[in-house]
Chains A and B, each alone.
Chain A
Amino acid sequence: MKFQAMGLYFPDIEHLLNWPGVLFEGSKYFELNKVGIIYLWAMIAPLILFTLAIRKSKLVPTGVQTIAESSVDFVRENVVMQTIGPDGMKFMPFLMSLFFFIFFSNITEVIPFIQFPGNARMAAPAMLALVVWVVFNAVGIKSQGFFKYFKNTIIPPGVPAALLPLVAVIEFVSTFFVRPFSLAVRLFANMLAGHLLLVTFAVLSAALWDTSPLISIVWAPFVVLIGLTGFEILVAFLQAFIFTILTAVYIGGALHPEH
């Protein structure tokens, strides 16, 4: 279906849904498309960053080591300490991996010639949300025991007895179904919306550049496009941060039930 609005030709929506393979085409298990390569990059980039950082580690950090240390510090102070507390330090590797995977697959949204956020396909956010769901439930069951965890989760303290059935159902649905769903949809929809926004302004700028004799109005969408690119860098970081901090909140809730 060609999508056309006010004389602008948008790229076919199929471009977002069907990705042709670019590496190992025809192979049943190893065929990679652009999104798969973005995921591989998001997996390898943190490894390279931290390998470079620890190879020549010094007491006073310089260069790459500064970036690595300040990011570890950021996750420790702003995510773990604020939500779980000191006993959440054992979840640092998990949260750091989540943060860096999501950040590096988001940031490809604004890297020239790639310009597609890996998390704008539903598969990766859904898988990450599933992993988080398994982890926070496992932490809750391990630290409180199965029945106690279940009871503490669906029955919040201080609820009048008459409201209890209603509240229990709401808490059950919101903890076990809405949490992973909203985690996945939040990441996916934010990145897809950002991508569509950038595409819209890029198409508009290109069309004006081609056709309009009024060269000055070309600059308006182009300036907005530049501004939005900056905004999307912020969103890429913020979504990684929010996914990580929500994971930490869920783990914290499973670890320390309210009394």
Chain B
Amino acid sequence: MIDLLAAADVIADKPDQVLVGLKAVGAGLGYGLAAIGPGVGIGLVVGNAITAMARQPESAGMVRTTMFLGIAFTEALALIGFVVFILLNFA
């Protein structure tokens, strides 16, 4: 309890530094969380594309184009997380 009060004193003394620290923590957590979903998603897209290509090698060209489209849509979320990271840390 006393430790918490001491910490509160420090925070009240230096709000700017605490803000910088919290921004860094938020940015790191935000990027990490934003990368989970797209990671799983790209895995699913590419895995299913490989299955499709292995079953029907003659349709590989079409499947590859569609796969890149799927990757592009899925990846956008992770990239927005990256942009948020940059904005929080440096803007």
A positions within 8 Å CB-CB of B = 1, 13, 78, 82-83, 182, 185-186, 188-190, 192-193, 238, 241-242, 245-246, 249
Q: Is the CB of B61 within 8 A of A78?
A: yes
**Which label, helix, strand, loop or mixed, suits the secondary structure of the A interface?**
helix
CB neighbours (8 Å) of B62 from chain A are 82
Report A128 CB to chain B, min CB distance, Å: 15
Interface: B19 (CB within 8 A): no
B72 CB contact (under 8 Å) in A82, A186, A192:
A186
Q: Is the CB of B75 within 8 A of A186?
A: yes
A192 CB contact (under 8 Å) in B65, B75, B86:
B86
Q: Is the CB of B68 within 8 A of A245?
A: yes
B positions within 8 Å CB-CB of A = 61-62, 65, 68-69, 71-73, 75-76, 79-80, 82-83, 86, 90
Q: Known A13-B90, A186-B79, A189-B83; judge A249-B69 contact (CB<8 A).
A: yes
CB neighbours (8 Å) of A186 from chain B are 72, 75-76, 79
**Which label, helix, strand, loop or mixed, suits the secondary structure of the B interface?**
helix
What are 24 A-B interface contacts by the 8 Å CB criterion? Answer: A13-B90, A78-B61, A78-B65, A82-B65, A182-B73, A182-B80, A185-B76, A185-B79, A186-B72, A186-B79, A189-B79, A189-B82, A189-B83, A190-B75, A190-B79, A238-B68, A241-B68, A242-B68, A242-B69, A242-B71, A245-B65, A245-B69, A246-B69, A249-B69
CB neighbours (8 Å) of A192 from chain B are 82, 86
